[in-house]
Amino acid sequence: GGTANALAYALGSQNIDVCILNRSKARLDKFKDHYECFSWDDYKEHKFDLVVNSTSAGLKDDLLPAPKEILDGILKSAKFAFDVIYGKQTPFLKEAKSQNLACKDGADMLLYQAVLALNLFYNGSLDEKKIEISMREALSL
């Protein structure tokens, strides 16, 4: 989806190696020319520093974003886990915490999107740091 596209681009543009896992090979077509990609069926174990969940798994259910045996293998060497879902402890973050990873939900991503959108609305004339501070206070973040 759009979040995976944005995250892959942002990380890749900082020369960070990106690997994308999706349940469907067909959904990887748009990524495969730029990033290493795997479906659940052909995943090969890798070591990761950061694991990001950009799926809706855990938003309204108790599902993990990938089969537990794949996810456990992915998380075992990682240091950080980030879930774009905010405001709740998702099964993905619970699993990552059980493996002692530093974890973060998507609240900051939501906040920074709002900061940028507000500043764009005012043609870039606002102080983004002040907006961020005000929004953090209002949202108790």
Q: Are residues 133 and 79 in the same domain?
A: no
Contact yes or no for 63/71 (Cβ under 8 A): no
CA atoms of 110 and 101, how far apart (whole Å): 22
* Inter-residue contact 42 to 31 (CB < 8 Å): no
Q: What is the CATH number of the domain that holds 63?
A: 3.40.50.720
Do 9 and 58 fall within a single domain?
A: yes
Query: How would you write the pLDDT of the chain (141 residues) with one tens digit per residue?
Result: 789 999 999 999 999 999 999 998 988 999 999 999 999 999 988 999 999 999 999 999 999 999 999 999 999 999 999 999 999 999 999 999 999 999 999 999 999 999 999 999 999 999 999 999 999 999 887
Q: Model pTM?
A: 0.88
Residue pLDDT, tens place only, 77-99: 999 999 999 999 999 999 999 99
Q: Are residues 29 and 97 in the same domain?
A: yes
Distances from the Cα of 16 to the Cαs of 21, 24, 74, 90, in angstroms?
Answer: 16, 24, 17, 26
Q: How many distinct structural domains can be found in the chain? A: 2
The two tokens of residue 129 are 């740091």
Looking at the fold, whether 77 and 137 belong to one and the same domain comes out as no
> How far apart (Å, rounded) are the C-alpha atoms in residues 25 and 100?
31
User: What domain range is 54 assigned to?
Assistant: 2-105
